[in-house]
Amino acid sequence: MNAIISASDLAGALAGANPPVLLDVRWQLSLAAAAGEPPFDGRAAYGAGHLPGAVFVDLDRELASAPGGRGRHPLPDLAVFGAAMRRAGVSSGRPVVVYDGGPGWGAARAWWLLRWTGHPDVRVLDGGLPSWEGPLETSVPQPAEGDFVPVPGADGLLDADGAAALARSGVLLDARAGERYRGEVEPIDRVGGHVPGAVSAPTTENVGADGRFLPAGELGARFKELGVSQGVPVGVYCGSGVSGAHEVLALAVAGIPAALYVGSWSEWSSDPERPVAVGPDPQ
């Protein structure tokens, strides 16, 4: 099953016999709070206009637990996550489509969580809200309660030790901007740099200027150049497990399974005992 869906195909699915549940995960990485300014308000953006029938999901409160030693966006409490999904109408027997306002990071986090916890049919709207040419609405829907109960998968999740091991035995991709990987700048975390052995692979290079994913063949060629090959395990991390989920999604589009280190650099760099590499060389 494809992990993404075009706006035109979504319009057709919404008019079909079993329309998908729509989740709006408007979220942006924002440094405003550090500067004492109001951060991006996804709920307000949702209220100003959203896809008909879409339910807002709060990434910081429902797709993550409170920041701390496990990073800025650690895994959510599964009871909280499950309740949020059922409130939005998510059921195991009904497809789900997730979108955001761009660049797709928030939607990918919801996609990854739903897939990792057992939902069989989840896709991300390719290009997000800007790709949608249909009408928007401002009313808040009240969907019937869903029945989805999240059950964590046995695979697909890395902790810090697992990420360190994968950097030696497989391919560990760093989805952040190259300057953060190299340690030239670090606007958020304690120290700049990367996990020793990780390969720089900014997730922004997986999409075109319109915010849509590159064709599967182009993505596959890109990841091959980064060292990904058949049979070699692949993992991804970023700053806090959000943009990294977008890279896992890009890998899925290319037909490549990958695990996500959810704690990511925000967890790794908070531990002074963890080694840090800087510069363009993985080591």
Kindly list the catalytic residues: 238
Cβ–Cβ under 8 Å, residues 65 and 109: no
- The tokens for 168 are 């030696």
103 cis-preceded (ω within 30 degrees of 0): yes
Q: Is 281 exposed, middle or buried (0-12, 13-18, 19+ CB in 10 A)?
A: exposed
Q: What is the DSSP letter of 107?
A: H
Q: Dump strand ranges (E) for 149-270.
A: 157-158, 171-174, 199-200, 234-237, 259-261
Q: What three-state secondary structure class fits 273? A: coil
Token pair in block for residue 275: 């080694």
